[in-house]
Amino acid sequence: MSRPSRHVASLIALTSAGGFCSSHASISGRNYLALSAYFLQLAMSSEERDLTDVHRALIQAFIVNRKFTTSELQRALANILSVSNQIAQSGSEVGHEVRARDITEEQIDDYVGVANSALYHLDYEIRCTKDSDNSLTWQLEVLE
């Protein structure tokens, strides 16, 4: 097993920092621990080729928040990608900042799709539903 990416901690801190986190109900304690353990396993696994630190941070954001509107998810991804870009620039403060309005629905679908491939093994999935006002909501749910 390889060592976890040294940047995973920075991205995890971002997801917990409250910059884009909302106060939705959390997953029950036992499930949260199982998901957190799996998340840490993913962080250490070199076998998940498509899963990047950005996907891991997105999974962590869903573990913490469970539910996002499209605009909240755009902000979350923008923050995660901005930190990832900053890390890629060797920690320089001039990393390319990504704005929420720059995040397209196609990008959301791509990131969520890769995250779902990892979550599938735990019988969890990030699902998108359309609310009565035709707005989209993204939610971490148990597969049945």
**pTM of the model as a whole:** 0.69
Q: What is the DSSP string of 44-103?
A: H-SS-SS--HHHHHHHHHHHHH-EEEHHHHHHHHHHHHHHHHHHHTTT-TTPPPPPGGG-
Average pLDDT value over all residues in the chain: 74
CATH placement of domain 8-142: 3.90.1150.220
pLDDT tens column, 98-111: 999 999 999 999 99
Name the residue ranges covered by the structural domains of the chain: 8-142
Identify which of 21-25, 79-83, 87-91 has the greatest average pLDDT: 79-83
